[in-house]
Structure 1
Amino acid sequence: MNKTILIVDDTPDLLQNLSDYLSMEGFRVIACLNPEAAILNLDRGVVPDLIITDLAMPRIDGLQFIAQVRTIDAFKHIPIVIFSAKPLHETQVTTSALEVSKYIKKPCPPDEILLYINQIFQQQ
């Protein structure tokens, strides 16, 4: 069974390119342009094996999205990767406080992102 990755990013080109790349690598990808769409997918029963999210997004930012996901028991175990141009130290939180598996700084080549994803899945 293919692993499902939920990607949340408000940059359409980046979202499409990363989604296409990961799909070609055999993952089932659910691409959402905002956290609201991602939450709607989760509410509809989508249970991803991994979530990749940007931080800087309108209305609901990535930190708020992560906090909301972590309040739902069914999603507490899901690894979350932050993929953002915003330095993590500017958020005044740490990956451990957010229960986040990895922080990846944009820009990052898709093959490097794939390497991180595979490392996370191997640790499970």
Structure 2
Amino acid sequence: MTRTILIVDDSPTIRKFVSLALENMGYKVLTASDGMEVFEVLSRAGFVDLIITDINMPNLDGFELIKSLRSDERFKNIPIIILSSLSDAESIDTGLKLGANSYIIKPLNVKRIQYEVSKYIN
């Protein structure tokens, strides 16, 4: 069964780069440009196996997205990886306390992304 990963980032370049890295591993990839769009994608897809999200996004940022997902019975157990340029200890701590499973700091490192994803789904 093909596993599905949702990538949430307001940068089309980041979405494309991460999508290609994961598609090359055999995953199905869905994308959203902000936290609000995530719920539209999830309503169409029904379920995803993992979510990779940025923090700084319009409409609904990554922190608020994680709070919303973790408070919803349908989505509370989906692994979440933060992929952000915010590298300060407070941002990392906040993300993990809200319920993210991993925190990756940009710039993008394909091997690190693939490794983190493989920790949660295979």
TM superposition score normalised by structure 1: 0.88
Amino acid at match of 1:55: I
The Cα of 1:12 is off from its aligned counterpart by: 0.6
Equivalent in the alignment of 1:85:
85
Q: Secondary structure at the match of 1:75?
A: coil
* Stretches of structure 1 lacking an aligned partner (at least 5 in a row): none
Amino acid at match of 1:93: T
Q: How many residues align?
A: 121
Maintained 8 Å contact 1:88/1:94: no
User: 1:85-114 CA distances to partner (integer Å, 9 max, x unpaired)?
Assistant: 01253436251x212110000013112210
Q: How many Å separate the matches in 2 of 1:29 and 1:100?
A: 19
Amino acid at match of 1:60: L
The Cα of 1:47 is off from its aligned counterpart by: 0.8
Question: Kindly, what percent of the aligned residue pairs are identical?
Answer: 34
Equivalent in the alignment of 1:52:
52
The Cα of 1:68 is off from its aligned counterpart by: 0.9
Maintained 8 Å contact 1:23/1:29: yes
Maintained 8 Å contact 2:95/2:103: no
Equivalent in the alignment of 2:11:
11
Amino acid at match of 2:60: I
Equivalent in the alignment of 2:104:
104
Q: Secondary structure at the match of 1:103?
A: strand
* Stretches of structure 2 lacking an aligned partner (at least 5 in a row): none
TM superposition score normalised by structure 2: 0.90
Amino acid at match of 1:11: S
Task: Write out aligned runs for 1:19-30 (5 A).
Answer: 19-30=19-30
Where does structure 1 differ by over 3 angstroms across 4 or more consecutive aligned residues?
Answer: none
Q: Secondary structure at the match of 2:29?
A: strand
Q: 1:119 to 1:57 in 2, by over 3 A?
A: same
Q: How many Å separate the matches in 1 of 2:35 and 2:95?
A: 20
The Cα of 1:120 is off from its aligned counterpart by: 2.3
Q: How many Å separate the matches in 2 of 1:79 and 1:29?
A: 15
Amino acid at match of 1:48: V
